[in-house]
Structure 1
Amino acid sequence: MQETELKLELSESAASALLKQNPFEGTPTVLRQRSVYFDTDGGDLSKRGLSLRIRQCGNERIQTVKSGDGSAAVSLTREEWQRPVANDIPVLDDPEVKPMLAGTGDSLAPVFAVHVKRHRWNVTEGDATIEVALDVGKVVAADREAPLCEIELEKKTGSPTALFALARKINLITPAHIGVLSKAERGNRLLGPAPAAIKANASALTADMNAATAFAHIAAACLKQFRLNEMVLSWSRDADALHQARVSLRRLRSLFSICKSLFADSRFDHLRDELRWLASALGNARNIDVMIKRASDDNLSRRLQAARKDAYGAVEASLSSVRARSLMIDLAEWISIRDWRSGETGAALLVRPSRKFASTVLDKLWKKVARGGRNLIDLDDETRHELRISAKKLRYAAEFFGPLYESKTEAKRQKRFIIAMEGLQDQLGSLNDLATAPGMLAELELTHTAGAEDLFNADDKEKLLHDAAEAHDIFVDTKRFWR
């Protein structure tokens, strides 16, 4: 059986406001549910992209096994297998489920539980029937627990676009963020270290994917990385989380640029512009964090810290805005529905083999960086900045499409190539920090503060230029893994 579902995250106050207004049809059914999730000590089910739970509601217990891509933010559809059970002991004799759970039966044990009060409505949205479930409760793992407040929108009939239409209506009534964690993922996160900044992970691409499917997997992973870091920023002004949030937006914008030939609809430019706006909204805070690390004067550090407080306040305002929340809903729909082109010619572009598409993209970007970095020391700041952007796109493309090159030789070359790209990007990034520091200091009215000149020292620039030129030579000499 397949479910088509979209999740939204709410605060408890937002959930209360929604219940008070009750914009849905009729009086909700109210249920209390307890769900026990099972896994092995080594988390074998989680590693396989599976979850197994037994949910109790009243005297009824239903066992559910779900499969899905945990790296994706907007995988609307998941396979699930359900059956009634007598107690909280998993039953594994289903012929469809048994092979997926092979080797785990004897070692399965409860690992966490989810307790919620569920309000449920059946809603008509356009041509669709949607089950709306508002869950408020907690996830409990041993002596740790975390609050849970989310809405599940499950399509029963009609088009999946109705899920997003309803999500937008809810977001205008009360703040609602695209949900990127299943309940199983929430429990598994509770079992580990406290959530911190989340770096990008490789997407699970395979060579038999077409270009459109590969793009959707990568884009969904970028969106998920952003939302996870945004969650950290909702309770902590963590510099690493802010940096990784910006990285996820840069990666997504680069992906848009890299894959532009796949798209021919009016939404593309709008979404790209909105991503640029959101990345820019985080920029000042990130630039200040970089200067704080380099500041050696105590007075300058104090004044930068004061500026940081204001900058992070602006970040919080941007992230909590209707505009930012709407952008994430729009992106989730655009990525998951995939109606980017029409006609036979457009469809042919979308189904182009992903590896062939990736090799063409990587060749084009490599040539641009190789040629653009000639005589790097003599380039002006603006031209060097353009080279930095091209290098960033190439590195991201190499990371995005790396899983498509599966042989041992290709994997080794990809690893060496990424290391060379990181070296070049780091040097170009440091040069860019020096170039932008004077303008940033002037904007903060700190140009004449003691220690400010140390942030853009000419001697530092001279050394960085030679280091960057050397890094470019190493990059050019590094074998390309896709050829």
Structure 2
Amino acid sequence: MEIELKLQIAEDDVEKIASSGLFGSDPDTLELKATYFDTPERQLRANGFSLRIRRENDQLVQTLKGTSRKAAGLFARPEWERVVPSETLVIDSQTPLAMLLGHDADSLTPVFRMSVKRRRWQFVDGEDAVECALDVGEILASERRSPIHEMEMESKRGDLAVLFRLARQLDELAPVRLSVNSKAERGYLFLEAQAESFKAESVELVPEMSAQSAFQAIITACLRHYRLNEALLLDTRNPAALHQARVALRRLRAALTIFKALYADDDAELIRRDLKWLAGLLGEGRDLDVLIKRNEAEALRERLQTARDEAYDRIITALNGKRVRMMMIDLVEWTSMGPWLTNEDTHEQRTKPAPIFAAQPLKKFRKKVKKGGGKLDQLEEAERHEVRKDAKKLRYAAEFFAGLYTDKRQRRRHGKFVAALEALQDQLGALNDLAAAPDLIQHLGLSDDPDAQALAGGTKKKKLIAAASEAHGDFADAKRFWE
């Protein structure tokens, strides 16, 4: 089992890190050239594995590795290695390869290649030992190339905390950013057209899990969702990437609320505070994107676009700052080895079977949404906003816990429940956008502009409330999938 922390670094900072002396002795240098294999239908990738033959200087090594597609930063991956005589795959009973693919193993073919120069240090500090590998190279597919500049730190023995201590020391030398993709996954993504954004993936939960393990899996999936979109946002400033990065933060914050019974420490409160700040910052850009999309007045377009560009500048500056970079590393460390994992006061909640624990927040938030939204037309804006927030938490909880409810009746009920909740959330979201527009217009100094005032869309409010009330009725009728 391989346990490592992966960090992205800028090309210009590679030599600064390599020559820092942080890792002690001079490094070994390896020239690594790898060919990755899969079937035409990408069956290995679909099953969460990668397969390569890599030349390590003068030796050929075949490796089948669990790709940890839902991992974020700290990778714990099973792998099977063997020395092979040539670049022809060896398929036998020594690895799960034959079992995974059956007769389809005969159709394995190269899908992409990588070429990497690796400098490798053996860092030892008392009882702790870490292999630190600085990789510079490229992914190659057809005529296309994508650069690689990253640091991998693999724990060989001792306390995993040393990985995070080294990450912070590295960041003092040059900015480092949490990586959530294995090289194999980067290769697969490179084969595809660049996405505008990445939507949340399903969380890999099973009924046999404890509440603690479910919480860790959910936080990891949310963090991965965020980092995939943050990287796109930094590269492209695409509104879809910003929206999904913000959704990922909302899901993270919801998960921390849903599982609050599992932890009680100051580190968690600091994380919650930082996530709230970052979500608010991204929200400024998202609000302007929504306003621009609704705007039809040519005279107003330029002023809104200027405000949007300024908001995005502030966001990009923050994302490149140390506070955000370290926030993500702090979250991985807290999730994987924080003090909450050994707190006797929360032991009973942490060790509950995940399905039993999940029923608690699902029941709680369903009750709040059903009761709070019963008379939407009579509520004040602030009260409708609270219903919307509870509906959002309920929806995220329903999505997080989907894997815990596996029989046909539960899956059928789950689909209908989430669909009804999504429809309600859409209507409440539209009402919230409408309610937020006047304050945003005032903040932009456009209160006297008739085109800007038209964006407040007061005439649509009654229709939206009626639609939300109807959606709430459908939600209230949806059967609970967790019972």
Same fold (TM over 0.5): yes
1:167 matches 2:130: no
Offset at 1:455?
1.4
Specify whether residues 35 and 328 from structure 1 end up closer, same or farther in structure 2 by C-alpha distance, changes over 3 A only. Answer: same
Conserved in 2, the CA contact under 8 Å of 1:74 and 1:336? Answer: no
Deviations 1:195-223 (A, max 9, x none): 32000111111111111111111110100
Q: Secondary structure at the match of 2:135?
A: strand
Counterpart of 1:220 in structure 2 is 220
In 2, the alpha carbon distance for the partners of 1:301 and 1:393 equals 34
CA contact (8 A) 2:292 2:304 kept: yes
1:180 corresponds to: 180
Does structure 1 conserve the Cα–Cα contact (< 8 Å) formed by 2:261 and 2:346?
A: no
Alignment root-mean-square deviation, CA:
1.5
- Cα deviation, 1:405-425, whole Å, max 9, x if unaligned, reads 111111111111111111111
Identity level (%)? 42
Query: How big is the shift at 1:386?
Result: 0.9
The equivalent of 1:92 in structure 2 is: 91
State how far apart, in whole Å, the 2-side matches of 1:31 and 1:68 are: 22
Q: Find the counterpart in structure 1 of residue 201 from structure 2.
A: 201
In structure 2, the gaps of 5 or more residues are none
Partner of residue 42, structure 1 = 41
Partner SS, residue 234 of structure 1:
helix
The answer for the alignment partner of 2:380 in structure 1 is 380
Unaligned runs of 5+ in 1: none
CA distance in 1, matches of 2:119, 2:393: 45
Instruction: Work out the CA distance in 1 between the residues paired with 2:202 and 2:309.
Output: 33
The answer on 1:131 being equivalent to 2:131 is: yes
8 Å CA contact 1:37, 1:110 repeated in 2: yes
Give the secondary-structure state (helix, strand or coil) at the position aligned to 2:340: coil
Whether the aligned pair in 1 keeps the contact of 2:207 and 2:404 (CA below 8 Å) is: yes
1:55 paired residue number? 54
What is the match of residue 3 of structure 1?
A: 2
Contact 1:172 1:322 in 2 (8 A): no
Shift, 1:58, TM fit: 2.2
Q: Does the CA-based 8 Å contact 1:51-1:67 persist in structure 2? A: yes
Q: State yes or no: 1:157 paired with 2:157.
A: yes
* Counterpart-to-counterpart distance in 1, 2:436 and 2:124: 52
Q: Is the 8 A contact 2:67 2:184 kept in 1?
A: no
SS, match of residue 196 in structure 2: coil
| Closer, same or farther: CA 126–302 of 1 in aligned 2, 3 Å | farther
How far has the Cα of 1:472 moved from its partner? 0.9
Question: Taking structure 2 as the reference length, what is the TM-score of the superposition?
Answer: 0.97
Partner Cα separation in structure 2 for residue 475 and residue 294 of structure 1: 28
Tell me, in whole angstroms, the C-alpha distance in 2 between the residues paired with 1:207 and 1:354. Answer: 6
**AA at the equivalent of 1:19:** A
Distance 1:44 1:236, change over 3 A: same
SS of equivalent residue, structure 1 residue 140: strand
Deviation at 1:389, TM superposition (A): 0.5
Q: Distance in 1 between matches of 2:138 and 2:330?
A: 29
1:125 CA displacement: 4.3
Does the Cα contact within 8 Å between 1:176 and 1:325 map onto a contact in 2? yes
Q: How does 1:399-410 map to 2 (within 5 A)?
A: 399-410=399-410
Are 1:266 and 2:266 matched, yes or no? yes
Which residue identity does 1:36 align to in structure 2?
T
Are the aligned partners of 1:126 and 1:162 in contact in 2 as well (CA < 8 Å)? no
- CA-CA distance at 1:318 after TM superposition: 0.8
After the TM superposition, which parts of structure 1 deviate over 6 Å for at least 4 consecutive aligned residues? none
Measure, in 2, the Cα distance between the counterparts of 1:54 and 1:342: 41
1:299/1:450 contact within 8 Å kept: no
Aligned to 1:348: 348
Counterpart secondary structure, 1:446: coil
Report the Cα offset of residue 225 of structure 1: 0.6
Contact 1:69 1:75 in 2 (8 A): no
Provide the aligned length of Structure 1 versus Structure 2. Answer: 482
* 1:242-391 pair list within 5 angstroms: 242-337=242-337, 339-342=339-342, 344=344, 346-391=346-391
1:207 alignment partner, SS class: coil
Cα deviation for residue 94 of structure 1 reads: 4.2
Q: How far 1:352 sits from its partner (Å)? A: 0.5
Q: Report the more deviating stretch, 3-12 or 103-112.
A: 103-112
Cα drift, residue 439 of structure 1 = 1.1
Give the match's secondary structure for 1:99.
Answer: helix
The aligned amino acid for 1:116 is V
